[in-house]
Amino acid sequence: MIDWSGDSAGGNLAAAVALKLRDDHFYPQPKLQLLFYPVLQGIDFQLPSMLQHRVGPRLTAASMCYYVAMYLEGSDANKDVFCNNSHVDASVQRMYSRTFLNVDLLPAKYRQNYVRPAPRPVDRQLWERLREKLINRYFSPLVAEKLHGLPETFVLTIENDPLRDEALLYVRRLMSAGVDVTHRHQFGYHGDLQQRLGVIVPYVREHL
């Protein structure tokens, strides 16, 4: 009886491992995956929560661009390219904006006053260099073609968090795939896992 859990970047790893174990028909399958304000994609850095939290007191969209650039290339030289969404081919951006990264699927309150910035020219060399990594389901679980067969899932999202919207979209996709999902949303800022245990521990005790 095992579970996979993680917060922020650790949530990305937990979601990726759950997908990999499913794909490899690993036995025994995890009973739970616990995702606390997880990173779930590196394709769109202009979701409403990203724009709302471009700067701020905790994790920001700008820092996420830095972290993803460092993770993928070992350098922050292209962090601004990521923030401008110039790292992904325009046709791919449009495809995902109609499907797995569709802002229209977010709650109405998060779409109020949302205006996507005008597109910038794509850095073709960067895209060609990173495309296989960016759209890989083990890096961007949100754009995995299929999410069926994953373990029962607990997702914690935070209001003032640039990662809020991708987690909300993941919750929606998991539910649509027939995964048993418990979603909890809290106010505050990204992090402070110790302060979130009041909603996490009771769930784990009941389901593990």
Give me the numbers of helices (H) and strands (E) for the chain, helices first please.
Answer: 9, 4
DSSP string for 181-196: EEEEEEEEES--HHHH
CA distance 27 to 42: 30
- Please answer whether residues 204 and 34 qualify as being in contact, where contact means their C-beta atoms are separated by less than 8 angstroms: yes
Verify whether residue 176 is a known catalytic residue: no
Q: Which of 5, 7, 8, 86 is catalytic?
A: 8
| Catalytic hit among 7, 86, 165, 190 | 190
Q: How far is CA 27 from CA 2, 31, 150, in A?
A: 11, 11, 13
Q: Is 161 a catalytic residue?
A: yes
Residue ranges of alpha helices (H) inside the chain are 9-23, 48-52, 61-73, 79-83, 90-98, 108-111, 124-134, 164-176, 193-207
Catalytic residue of the set 7, 44, 161, 165: 161
Dihedral pair phi/psi, residue 18, rounded to 5°: -60, -40
Q: How far apart are CA 42 and CA 135, in angstroms?
A: 8
Query: Which of 48, 50, 16, 40 has the alpha carbon at shortest distance from 30?
Result: 16
Is residue 207 among the annotated active site residues?
no
The DSSP output letter for 28 is: S
Active site residues: 8, 161, 190
